[in-house]
Amino acid sequence: MKTRKLGINGPEVSSIAIGSRIVSDVEGAKEQTIKTLQTAIDRGINFLNTADFYGMGLNELHIGEAIEGRREQVFLSVKTGSMRDPKGRFIGLDCRPKAIKNFCSYSLTRLGVDVIDLYQPARVDPNVPIEETVGAIKDLIQEGKVRYLGLSEANADQLKRAYAVHPVSALEIEYSLATRFIENEILPTARQLGVSVVPYSVLSYGLLSGNMTNQLSEGDFRKAFPRFQGANLEYNLKLIDILKEMAAQKGTSAGSLALAWVYQQGEDIIPIVGMSRPERVDDNLKALEIEFTASEMNLLNETFKIGSVKGDRYPAMVQKWAAQ
């Protein structure tokens, strides 16, 4: 497994992280999740990404079972501070210092570990100065409950303010061929500070997979996202046709190309890849071996330049939480 350094002050970790957001109560789902995680660890993927609100804590319990007896083989990244109702729907943020420390205690218990490797607020709480939130995590680091500080969906100014309190090892943020806004200011700032970028949604919620049609099923959460609506989706799918054509020429999938593109944006980029089945582990590792010619890379960069994909990445009601 190739490794990359997590920030100038962090450790070497696997060059991709495994995301495990989806939690299902379908029979056998728990066993499949654990098997997938263990397969990833066996293949050398040690960077496990989760959040205390995934499955209302169930995801952490599953990870705890998967890593039992293998704690030294994994690097645990946990997001916190996102409040949910009993059905798991977002209802706000709570990144007050006391809340952060309380959430951490619960995560340590559910995971069955003594320390979390990377701990980060899921979003910057507009009602709490980021210095106070980061200060709480700094306390947890000094207490030996957390090893490294991370941020998620922070903008350039917030990243600088946080770093002034304590060195930030990683910034988790949406980044893909379809979502490149971080290249304007956030990515340069992260690189100036020596902060690794950990992209999530590298397939833009399936848009870049090459498997989407303009007929989303009833109840599909993406229907609320502007880029998946009406004329926007029709236009965006035509862009994806270019990606699919290149993938066919290279004997791979559009999704694999999209992952490979993100991976090749710099040694400080460590993508999070959702893997719900054991067989997906090897598929994603193969994507890291894809090579682009200069003309292929230029075509992708021009086709998917900033602003080329129509529609905001979030619905208006949650757009205010975005880092743009």
Looking at the chain, the number of H-run helices and the number of E-run strands are: 11, 12
Write down the pTM of the prediction: 0.93
Q: Where are the domains of the chain?
A: 3-319
Architecture of the structural domain at 3-319: Alpha-Beta Barrel (3.20)
Composition of the chain by helix, strand, coil, percent to 5: 45, 20, 40
Q: Could you give the residue ranges of the DSSP H alpha helices within the chain?
A: 29-42, 58-66, 97-111, 130-142, 156-165, 186-193, 230-250, 254-263, 278-287, 294-303, 316-319
Six-digit token pair at 65? 């079972």
pLDDT recorded at residue 318: 58
Express as a percent the part of the chain with pLDDT over 70. Answer: 95
Q: Is 200 a catalytic residue?
A: no
Q: What is the pLDDT of residues 148-188, one digit of tens each?
A: 999 999 999 999 999 999 999 999 999 999 999 999 999 99
Question: What is the DSSP track for 59-89?
Answer: HHHHHHHHTTT-GGG-EEEEEE-EEE-TT--
Q: Which residues of the chain have pLDDT under 70?
A: 21-27, 316-324
Catalytic entry in 54, 163, 200, 263: 54
pLDDT recorded at residue 128: 97
pLDDT recorded at residue 324: 41
